[in-house]
Amino acid sequence: MNPIRKRRLWLLALLLLAAAAAATLITKALQENLTYLHTPTEVKTGKVPAARFRLGGVVCEGSVQRTSGTLAVNFAVTDRVRQVPVHFEKILPDMFKEGTSVIATGRMQGDTFVAEEVLAKHDETYMPKEVADAMAKGIAMHTKSCGAR
Amino acid sequence: MLPELGHVALILALLLAFLLGVLPMLGAQREHAALMATARPLAYGQLLFIAIAYAVLTHAFLVHDFSVAYVASNSNSLLPLMYQVPAVWGAHEGSLLLWVLILGLWIGAVATFSKSLPMPVLARVLAVMGWVSFGFLAFLIFTSNPFARLLPAAVEGRDLNPLLQDPGLIIHPPVLYTGYVGFAVAFAFAVAALIGGKVDAQWVRWSRPWTNVAWAFLTLGIALGSWWAYYELGWGGWWFWDPVENASFMPWLVGAALIHSQAVTEKRDSFRGWTLLLAIAAFSLSLLGTFLVRSGVLTSVHAFASDPKRGLFILIFLGLVIGGSLLLYALRAPREEQGQPFAAFSRETFLLGNNLLLTAAAAMVLLGTLYPLLAEALDLGKISVGPPYFGLLFTLLMAPLVLLLPFGPLTRWQREQASTPLRMLAPWAGIALLIAAIAFFTSANAGWKTIAAYIVGAWLLLGTLRFVRQRFVQGKGRFTAEMIGMCLAHSGVAVFFFGVLMTESMSIEKDVAAKPGQSFSLRGYDFRFDGVERSQGPNYQADRGTLLVTRNGKDVVVLHPEKRAYASGGSILTEAAIDGGPGRDLYVALGDSLDDQGSWALRLHVKPFVRWIWFGALMMALGGFTVAFDKRFRRAVGEAST
């Protein structure tokens, strides 16, 4: 093998190695930072992992309860079929209201979803697409029922 | 009557854009002088009609013409005058009209400032921009007519989204769009060069100033958006890796690569094909950004209404632009690199490294942004990619960039002894490490990011200063505008990274339940909550909190965070109170009322050096503008015409 070829081969090997390392790293970073969106029905039927996930749905009417004088707040999120109680101890977003859609990120602790972050829709007419899709699967978008616990 | 005239003006602009796309191009291909000469009048004509349409829509906002559907849903008779004009671009239709207007202005600017360009080149460039303009005007007219009537007319408008009632809105979208759309110029020059078959360094020399200006505007626009998110959203964050932020960041990264690779192609004739590809990519990513934002496929603050027809239109347009230009590239790109050869250790190599890292970063952002869409299409579930993905990979990609940046300007073109720049920079690297060591031992709560902040900031700034020194020693203190711009932008990178790393490592944030009179201590600052009272704004009612901030017993500032309830629509909005300074920002946002004894939820932040982030971006933008004014570009154009 002549020296030029040999050098090129080394270069090629190095490039392949770098590409492989980059691919592994990216896949790993991606996998570790993915969070899935689930509906209350999926939570209640046991389809949800123990890991962090996002809970999407509507804040159940009449479910918001504050513990007086603290940040702690409890409410239920529903897809109009089933509902899941949520506990949160930070400041709720401006657009948070009963009967509007939210996405909460957190994990299940027992029967309660403990949220680290709650996002609400941005204006009156807008429902996050992923929530709307999830709701459509839960059929009855027009009822006000919060569904079974 | 007027709104109909606006609509007619848009249709006339569409016709002129069509002619602009066809006639000058035909003229250039057939070397027909009269046809080529139509380029300028057509460019000005379409700009005129777009401007008329734009003026008509603005007028409709000023006179509260609620018979226009767009005005009725985005204005209100109580809307303060200062927001009536920017309300034009407060939602989808109007912002698209602004986009088209800015494109028209860019086209007009190219027509005006390229007097010395050879006629066939100018004709082709303007024609390509005419195609783009045609596409967007058609999109506007067929899917998003801002002049559609509402019958019967509304008695009162629904009001502008309160989030947008802020001075940031007045400047952020126009500046950002100017950047986005500006890449159309570099794109048009590249495509025109491919069509003309002369892919040499010349087209790059002509398009360089335009690219730099567009990139500088994009930098400013993104920085303004980040600043707006910081003080208006009430979360105190400056960057969220939100899909829409990513959509503007991808063309920025590729644009940054492009301005460097254009420099190589212009000066050394190398990287020709690569520069063409980057010019196409920068504009394609701008279009992709538009698609992501406007089609409603992604969930975000910026996603207006989702209408599948719109998404499909942009997708087809995107396909035509990307597919067409890549096909053209495949057919016409230079087969052989005819540039000057360069050794492994040379300025070319460093700039190649810069380009690889920046485009890799753009690819990484693209993957993270599109992955959820891909997963959904493949039925893998509804996924979101968390900020740590972007944070980790971006850090890994930027670390080598930061390390290599000071070497670039100090290394000669073509061939250099590796030891020369190393010897020049070694003492300065030593000083950077020393500063970091001192900072580490003198500041409390310093983590690895704090040390990194000092090392990165000092290394980049000192490395740039070393170049300045070299110019004084070897160049007798002569600086071209290009060098000044480069030094400014590279110092901006130093300031930016210092701000980012300091904010990331030293910020402190606390959500608290506060009783009146209660104090909270953060990083040596005492925040005393003095209660909340009602106050009245022009079109809202506010709960206005009062906090006294003290440090070591001395008064620092009194802050008044607000929670506003807007009269129309019942929207509620947090207005954070910020005491800013070069060394730190104190940031307070008001949450909800917690009981009937006057307790409120408060979010308190102390954010060290957060302003350096935007100041660094401002320096980068100024650098971009400065480069564009280099005398060489004007001279080069002049020589080419004779």
DSSP A12-66: HHHHHHHHHHHHHHHHHHHHHTEEEEE-HHHHHTT---SS-EEEEEEEPTT--EE
Cβ-in-10-Å burial (0-12, 13-18, 19+) of B557 comes to middle
- Per CB-CB distance under 8 Å, the chain B contacts of A124 are 569-571
Instruction: Encode pLDDT of B594-641 as tens digits.
Output: 888 889 999 999 999 999 999 999 999 999 999 999 988 876 444 443
Do B386 and A35 lie within an 8 Å CB cutoff?
yes
Do A36 and B396 lie within an 8 Å CB cutoff?
no
- Indicate if the pLDDT at residue B307 is higher than 70: no
Q: What is the mean pLDDT of residues B357-365?
A: 94
* Prediction pTM value: 0.92
- Per CB-CB distance under 8 Å, the chain B contacts of A92 are 591-592
pLDDT at position B218 is 97
Using alpha carbons only, give the angle B279, B284, B287 rounded to the nearest 5 degrees: 135
Q: What is the mean pLDDT of residues B66-83?
A: 89
pLDDT at position B638 is 43
- Per CB-CB distance under 8 Å, the chain B contacts of A75 are none
Return all residues near B408 (Cβ < 8 A) that are at least 6 apart: B347, B350, B351, B354
Six token digits for residue B182? 């500006």
Do A69 and B594 lie within an 8 Å CB cutoff?
yes
- CB distance B213 to B230 below 8 Å: no
- State how far the Cα of A75 lies from the Cα of A66, in Å rounded to an integer: 9
pLDDT at position B303 is 47
Instruction: Encode pLDDT of B386-428 as tens digits.
Output: 888 999 999 999 999 999 999 999 998 988 888 888 988 999 9
- Indicate if the pLDDT at residue B513 is higher than 60: yes
- Residue A82 DSSP symbol: B
Instruction: With cut-offs at 50, 70 and 90, classify the pLDDT of residue B58.
Output: very high
* Closest residue on chain B to A130 (Cα): B382
CA distance to A80, A118, B57, B321, B344, per residue, from A112 (Å) = 18, 15, 51, 50, 60
- Indicate if the pLDDT at residue A40 is higher than 80: yes
- CB distance B342 to B268 below 8 Å: yes
- State how far the Cα of B574 lies from the Cα of B386, in Å rounded to an integer: 25
By three-state DSSP, how is residue B306 classified? coil
Please provide residue B518's backbone torsions phi and psi, each rounded to the nearest 5 degrees: -75, 145
Nearest CB among B368, B384, B572 relative to A35 is that of B384
Weakest mean pLDDT among A3-7, B186-190, B446-450: A3-7
CA dihedral B443, B449, B455, B461 (to 10 degrees): -100
pLDDT at position B499 is 96
Please provide residue B80's backbone torsions phi and psi, each rounded to the nearest 5 degrees: -55, 145
Identity of the residue numbered B66:
F
Do A129 and B573 lie within an 8 Å CB cutoff?
no
By three-state DSSP, how is residue B638 classified? helix
Q: Whose CA is closest to A61, among A72, A77, A73, A74?
A: A77
Beta-bridge partners for B365: none
Task: Tell me the nearest-neighbour CA distance from A37 into chain B, angstroms.
Answer: 5
- Indicate if the pLDDT at residue B566 is higher than 90: no
Q: Whose CA is closest to B1, among B147, B195, B102, B100?
A: B147
Mutate to test the interface with A, among B370, B384, B573 (most CBs of A within 10 A): B384
- Per CB-CB distance under 8 Å, the chain A contacts of B393 are 25-26, 29
Six token digits for residue B422? 């190393």
pLDDT at position B639 is 44
Q: What is the mean pLDDT of residues B14-37?
A: 95
Instruction: Encode pLDDT of A68-91 as tens digits.
Output: 888 999 999 988 888 999 999 998
Instruction: Encode pLDDT of B461-501 as tens digits.
Output: 999 999 999 899 887 778 899 999 999 999 999 999 999 99
Do A71 and B571 lie within an 8 Å CB cutoff?
no
Core vs surface per residue B234-271: b (16+ CB within 10 A) or e: bbbbbbbbbbbbbbbbbbbbbbbbbbbbbbbbbbbebb
- Per CB-CB distance under 8 Å, the chain A contacts of B296 are 129
Do B592 and A92 lie within an 8 Å CB cutoff?
yes
Mutate to test the interface with A, among B92, B165, B379, B383 (most CBs of A within 10 A): B383
Do A94 and B299 lie within an 8 Å CB cutoff?
no
Return all residues near B614 (Cβ < 8 A) that are at least 6 apart: B223, B226, B227, B238, B499
pLDDT at position A1 is 61
Higher-pLDDT residue of B604 and A5 is: B604
Nearest CB among A34, A68, A89 relative to B383 is that of A34
Task: Tell me the nearest-neighbour CA distance from B453 into chain A, angstroms.
Answer: 23
pLDDT at position A131 is 63
Six token digits for residue B307? 């209408």
Do B368 and A34 lie within an 8 Å CB cutoff?
no
Nearest CB among B364, B386, B569 relative to A26 is that of B364
pLDDT at position B243 is 83
CA distance to B97, B347, B552, per residue, from B133 (Å) = 11, 38, 60
pLDDT at position B496 is 97
For chain A, the residues whose C-beta falls within 8 A of a C-beta of chain B are 22, 25-26, 29-30, 32-37, 54, 56, 66, 68-71, 89-92, 94-95, 122-126, 128-130, 133-134
Do A129 and B368 lie within an 8 Å CB cutoff?
no
Return all residues near B163 (Cβ < 8 A) that are at least 6 apart: A122, B232, B233, B301, B573
pLDDT at position B320 is 93
Higher-pLDDT residue of A132 and B257 is: B257
Beta strand B540-551 with B525-536: parallel, antiparallel or unpaired?
Answer: antiparallel
Q: Annotate B321-369 with DSSP letters as a single string.
A: HHHHHHHHHHHHS-SS--SPP--SSSHHHHHHHHHHHHHHHHHHHHHHH
Inter-axis angle of helices B39-62 and B2-30, nearest 10: 160
Q: Tell me which long-range contacts B235-238 makes (C-beta under 8 A, separation of at least 24).
A: B235/B589, B236/B509, B236/B576, B236/B587, B236/B589, B236/B603, B236/B605, B236/B607, B238/B503, B238/B610, B238/B613, B238/B614
Mutate to test the interface with B, among A25, A34, A73, A107 (most CBs of B within 10 A): A34
Task: Tell me the nearest-neighbour CA distance from B355 into chain A, angstroms.
Answer: 16
Q: What is the mean pLDDT of chain A?
A: 81
pLDDT at position B51 is 97
Higher-pLDDT residue of B160 and B287 is: B287
- Per CB-CB distance under 8 Å, the chain A contacts of B511 are 71, 89-91
Nearest CB among A29, A54, A94 relative to B393 is that of A29
Which helix (H) or strand (E) segment holds residue B440: the answer is helix B419-442
Over pLDDT 70: what percentage of chain A? 83
* Closest residue on chain B to A90 (Cα): B511
pLDDT at position A58 is 87
- Per CB-CB distance under 8 Å, the chain B contacts of A136 are none
Over pLDDT 70: what percentage of chain B? 95
CA distance to B18, B42, B131, B178, B239, per residue, from B45 (Å) = 12, 5, 15, 20, 40
Q: Which residue has the tokens 């590796």?
A: B418
Q: Taking the CA atoms of chain B, what radius of gyration do you get in angstroms?
A: 26
- Per CB-CB distance under 8 Å, the chain A contacts of B603 are 91
* Closest residue on chain B to A30 (Cα): B389
B154 CA to centre of own chain: 36
- Per CB-CB distance under 8 Å, the chain B contacts of A134 are 382
Q: Annotate B42-99 with DSSP letters as a single string.
A: HHHHHHHHHHHHHHHHHHHHHTT-TTBHHHHHH--TTS-HHHHTGGGGSSHHHHHHHH
- Indicate if the pLDDT at residue A144 is higher than 80: no
- State how far the Cα of A43 lies from the Cα of A56, in Å rounded to an integer: 11
Residue spans of the domains in chain B: they are: 2-334+623-641, 405-507+612-616, 508-609
Nearest CB among A22, A36, A125 relative to B381 is that of A36
- State how far the Cα of B49 lies from the Cα of B211, in Å rounded to an integer: 26
Instruction: Encode pLDDT of A88-116 as tens digits.
Output: 999 888 878 888 888 899 999 988 999 99
Instruction: With cut-offs at 50, 70 and 90, classify the pLDDT of residue A121.
Output: low
- Per CB-CB distance under 8 Å, the chain B contacts of A36 are 381-383
- State how far the Cα of B462 lies from the Cα of B208, in Å rounded to an integer: 27
Higher-pLDDT residue of B368 and B167 is: B368
| Helix/strand number for chain A, H first, E second | 3, 7
Q: Respond yes or no on whether ipTM tops 0.85.
A: no
Q: Whose CA is closest to A134, among A49, A41, A67, A52?
A: A41
Identity of the residue numbered B169:
L
Q: Whose CA is closest to B604, among B640, B577, B638, B630?
A: B577
Please provide residue B445's backbone torsions phi and psi, each rounded to the nearest 5 degrees: 40, 45
Beta strand A83-88 with A112-120: parallel, antiparallel or unpaired?
Answer: parallel
B177 CA to centre of own chain: 8
- Per CB-CB distance under 8 Å, the chain A contacts of B594 are 66, 68-71
pLDDT at position B337 is 58
3-state secondary structure string across B217-249: HHHHHHHHHHHHHHHHCCCCCCCCCCHHHHHHH
Mutate to test the interface with B, among A4, A33, A75 (most CBs of B within 10 A): A33
Beta strand B562-566 with B572-575: parallel, antiparallel or unpaired?
Answer: antiparallel
Task: Tell me the nearest-neighbour CA distance from B442 into chain A, angstroms.
Answer: 33
Query: Which CATH class name applies to A37-137?
Result: mainly beta
Do B385 and A33 lie within an 8 Å CB cutoff?
yes
- Indicate if the pLDDT at residue B298 is higher than 70: no
Nearest CB among A22, A66, A91 relative to B511 is that of A91
Instruction: Encode pLDDT of B239-284 as tens digits.
Output: 989 888 899 999 999 999 999 999 999 988 888 889 999 999 999 9
By three-state DSSP, how is residue A87 classified? strand
- State how far the Cα of A149 lies from the Cα of A86, in Å rounded to an integer: 12
- Indicate if the pLDDT at residue B36 is higher than 60: yes
- Indicate if the pLDDT at residue B305 is higher than 60: no
pLDDT at position B304 is 46
pLDDT at position B457 is 95
- State how far the Cα of B396 lies from the Cα of B501, in Å rounded to an integer: 14
Using alpha carbons only, give the angle A121, A124, A129 rounded to the nearest 5 degrees: 45
Q: What is the mean pLDDT of residues B579-586?
A: 92
Do B382 and A69 lie within an 8 Å CB cutoff?
no
- State how far the Cα of A90 lies from the Cα of B420, in Å rounded to an integer: 56
Q: What is the mean pLDDT of residues B331-336?
A: 78
Do A128 and B297 lie within an 8 Å CB cutoff?
no
Q: What is the mean pLDDT of chain B?
A: 89
pLDDT at position A137 is 56
pLDDT at position B375 is 82
Q: Taking the CA atoms of chain A, what radius of gyration do you get in angstroms?
A: 23
Task: Tell me the nearest-neighbour CA distance from A143 into chain B, angstroms.
Answer: 23
- Per CB-CB distance under 8 Å, the chain B contacts of A26 are 364, 367, 393
Task: Tell me the nearest-neighbour CA distance from A108 into chain B, angstroms.
Answer: 18
Instruction: With cut-offs at 50, 70 and 90, classify the pLDDT of residue A30.
Output: confident
CA distance to A105, A119, A130, B383, B410, per residue, from A32 (Å) = 15, 21, 21, 12, 40
- CB distance B496 to B617 below 8 Å: yes
